[in-house]
Amino acid sequence: MHFAAAVLSSILLILSFSQFNLGTLAWISLVPLLLSCRSTSPHRAFLFGWLTGTIAFSGIIYWIVIAMNQYGNIPILPSVLILLLLATYLGLFVAVFSSLMSFFLRHVPHQSSLILAGPAVWVSLEILRTHLFTGYPWALLGYSQYQWLSIIQIADITGVYGVSFLVVLVNLFLALLIETLTIWFREHPKIRIVSMVLPAAITTSLFVLTLSYGQFKQETLHKTTDQRNIHLGLVQPNIDQRKKWDPSFRKETIDRYLTLTTQAIKKHGPDKVDLIVWPEASTPFVFELENTFRDQITTLVQTHQTPLLFGSIAVKEITEQSAQLLNRAYLLSSQGSILNHYDKMHLVPFGEYVPRFFSFIDKLAHGVGDYVPSNEHTIMSGPHGRFGVAICFEVIYPDLVRRFVKHGAEYMITMTNDAWYDHSSAPYQHFSMVVFRAIENRVSFARAANTGISGFINADGTIKQKTNLFEKTTIVDTVKLGHDQTIYTAYGDIFAYTCTGFTLGLILVAFARQNKRQKNG
């Protein structure tokens, strides 16, 4: 029974995320696991929770095998083992949640405290996962709701963690309700039904308040008409990852960018495109060191008198043994000069550097030497507003994006290369997280991706326009500038840390009650 509950919860969790887009299932995904927590010890609940998490994350991030095997040249067996190792680690967070819930179900007497304990524990573990060992906040539970805009507007106060809180709250209420009704039908103790009144009131109130707040915020944002605009053009070249760094394909790659950029500007007119954006590492060469290809790009910009933002490798330091590289975004003026640049701060393990403990594994990314991180939230400035740039996985870190906006960004651009993940669910999952970054900080987002998904997202999370995967195309749209600073932008993850404090306090109270019972027993 417990094994079946663990497997069922893991399947429901997998189906809740993009590309399946069955986010409704998230609201019941933890019910089987929570029901099993009541009838087993905390130690056994830990094991079943671990199993749930390991299976779920294996199904959600299976694309790691594709990236490592097909593009990283790592044999299939080691690739699968690395996936299982990561999934097992991520599964530990579900294991701790299950163990604590089993413990609380025994030692927290008040249903009102218990109904809030589950969501608080889950959020505490999500914020821990976001930061522990450089952090890996992929597939936080709240992301499953990226299409339900009314319910996720609360993120401008709580971040994505508030949505996770609400989803777990509903799951826990349903589990307690099923358990109570089962006992009621069997034994008819009226007190059991009465005990559910307060949890029902808490769950219903928080759900209705969240939904009402979301609808109010959407209506308010739609009525706002006094914001400035900028017209952005996004280039999606669809460069095969196998060819991307092949010197024999350099000219073909650059020609594709030049052609697509010219087409976009001519189609919409130079007055309708204020800034062209290329994806992460779009130039298959070091921009500041290779004059021939660099001159082609600057000539393009000068010809069309349109500024360009693009990704390229930069060299920080070269030694006899290796080179220290930077994953950089350059902003060129309409005259072709470098106005500014931003160097990526949060690097991807195995993609841009190899952790010391895994030095036996080659980097997935092609290039000599390790990438090194920057530590500056650079704000790009131009005649059309101030913006920040999040490169690739940086956009999945809520606090990192928040700091750009707090430092003055009026809109955000994220550039990436998701070609590593082929036709898997990874590009869909990656894109869905941008919706939350827009809502959390009430800024518009533009996303330029090599093979997709590129697109534009409004400050209320509305996806205005997006491309298909693996198509060669350009899209142009209007991006609104400016914002009213949100609670989340101003104070960050205060909600998540409050949940952590509540969880720690509840653990102390539960242990005190357990010790008291043991002394009296």
Write down the catalytic residue from 244, 344, 363, 406: 344
**Amino acid identity of 163?**
V
Between CA 426 and CA 429, with CA 428 as vertex, the angle to 5 degrees is 65
Q: Is 280 a catalytic residue?
A: yes
User: Residue type at 209?
Assistant: L
Give the list of residues 6+ apart from residue 37 with CB closer than 8 angstroms, or none.
45, 49, 98, 101, 102, 105
Q: Which residue in the list 126, 217, 244, 280 is annotated as catalytic?
A: 280
Q: Residue 420: which of 358, 344, 350 has the closest Cα?
A: 350
Per the structure block, which two tokens stand in for 257? 């960018």
Q: From edge to edge, which strands make up the β-sheet containing 463-466?
A: 380-382, 385-391, 411-416, 445-449, 455-457, 463-466
DSSP H or E segment with residue 329: strand 323-332
Q: What is the CA radius of gyration of the chain?
A: 25
Query: Rounded CA gap, 515 and 508, in Å?
Result: 11
Query: Would you list the DSSP string of 27-66?
Result: GTTTHHHHHHHHTS-HHHHHHHHHHHHHHHHHHHSTHHHH
User: Is 217 designated active site?
Assistant: no
Q: Specify whether 252 is catalytic.
A: no
Annotated catalytic residue: which of 37, 244, 392, 440?
392
The closest alpha carbon to 284, from 408, 180, 419, 135, belongs to 419
* Nearest residue to 357 (alpha-carbon basis) of 155, 140, 85: 85
Catalytic residues: 280, 344, 392
